[in-house]
Amino acid sequence: MVLATLHSTQTDVCPGEPVKKDIPPFAATTQAARDFERIARVLDILSLHWREQPSLAWVAAEAGLSEFHLQRLFSHWVGVSPKRFVQYITKEAARSYLADAASLLDAALACGLSGSARLHDLFVRYEGMTPGDFKASLRGRPMTWGEVATPFGSALAVFAPRGLHRLEFFADAAERDCLLGEWRKTYPQAQWQAAEQAQLRLLAQAFLPDRSPAAASNVSSGDKHEGSTLALCVTGSDFQLKVWEALMAIPQGKTVSYGGLAQAIGHPGAARAVGNAVAANTVAWLIPCHRVIRETGMLGHYRWRPERKRAMLGWEQAGLPRPPEGGG
C-alpha cells in the first residue's frame, strides 16, 4: 500500500547542523525507506548472482532475512517472486527493452500527446518564463511541501502555485532536512507551508501498481478531487525542457538510449548534453528519466541512486501483462 504523509515544520538545516527537535518521525515514510533498503540489498545480490540461479534460501540468508520475510516482502512490493523479478533487471533484459526513441516520439505526436491534458501544465507551456522569472513570480506566493511513502523509498515533494515543482527521494532525516534547507534558500521569496493532504494523495496515486507515471500525470492540483490532474511545473533551459517533454513520451516497459533520445529530439551527436539534461531533472518518476539507459544495457547514472533506477525499471516490467507465474 502506498501512503502519503506530511509534516508542517520548515527547516534550513543540512548534515552537520543541529536538527530542530520539532521535526517528528513519520512511520509511513520511515517504513518505506526501510523496505526499499531491504529490496535494494536483495536486488544487488540477485544482479550479481542471477546466472547461478541462487535458491531463495541462499538469497534470504545473504540479505539477512528469512525465506518467508523475503517472499512476503517481494509479494507486497511488486506482486511477483524474487525469482521472477530477477528476469527483469539483468543487463540482457535491459537491452531488450530498448526502443527506437524517434519512433516513440513520432507515435506520441501522432496521438497528440504533446498537446493533451497530461502535458498542459508542464512548464514548457509558459514560453519566456526563465528560472529567474519563475523565482520572481513566487514573491509572496506559497510553496508547499510534504513527504510521500513510495515503493522506492521516501520522497519529498514541493508544489509551486502552478503545480508540482520537485519530487526527490531521500535516505534519512538529515538528507530530507538538507533538501528542504536548499529549496528554501533557493526560493526565499516564497511563503513556505505544508502541502494539503489532497495534493499528497493525488501524488501517491502515481506510485500505485495500476497507474503508470504518464497516467498519473492526468490528474489537477487545482482540483482537489481524486482523479483530477496533478500538474507539473518545472523550470529549465529550452533544451532541458525539450528533453524532459520527450521523456514523458516513453511508455512504461520501454527504455531509450541517450544517443537515441538526442537524435529523436533533433540533436544527433548531443548524447552527452542529453545526459546532462536527463540528470538535471528534479521530478522523479513522473518525468521518467529512469527510462534512459546506455545502448549496452548498462543503466548509467541516476541522481537518486542506480539501485533505485534498477528497481523502478524492474517494477514497471513486473506490472506489464504477462502469463501467470508458475512456481517461485
- 63 in any annotated domain: no
- 57 in any annotated domain: no
**Count of C-beta atoms within a 10 Å radius of residue 215:** 14
Q: Quick one: cell of 150?
A: 513510495
Write the CATH number for 181.
1.10.10.10
- 219 in any annotated domain: yes
Predicted local confidence at residue 154, as pLDDT? 94
Active site residues: 289
End-to-end Cα spacing for the chain? 22
Stretches in the chain below the pLDDT threshold 70? 1-28, 107-130, 209-229, 321-328
- 172 in any annotated domain: yes
- 108 in any annotated domain: yes
- 286 in any annotated domain: yes
Half-sphere exposure of 77 (CA within 13 A, CB side): 30
Domain that holds residue 177: 4-17+96-318
Predicted local confidence at residue 251, as pLDDT? 83
The number of folded domains in the chain is 1
Q: Rounded to 5 degrees, what angle do the CA atoms 283, 286, 289 make?
A: 70
Predicted local confidence at residue 23, as pLDDT? 37
**pTM as predicted:** 0.79
Predicted local confidence at residue 15, as pLDDT? 39
- 85 in any annotated domain: no
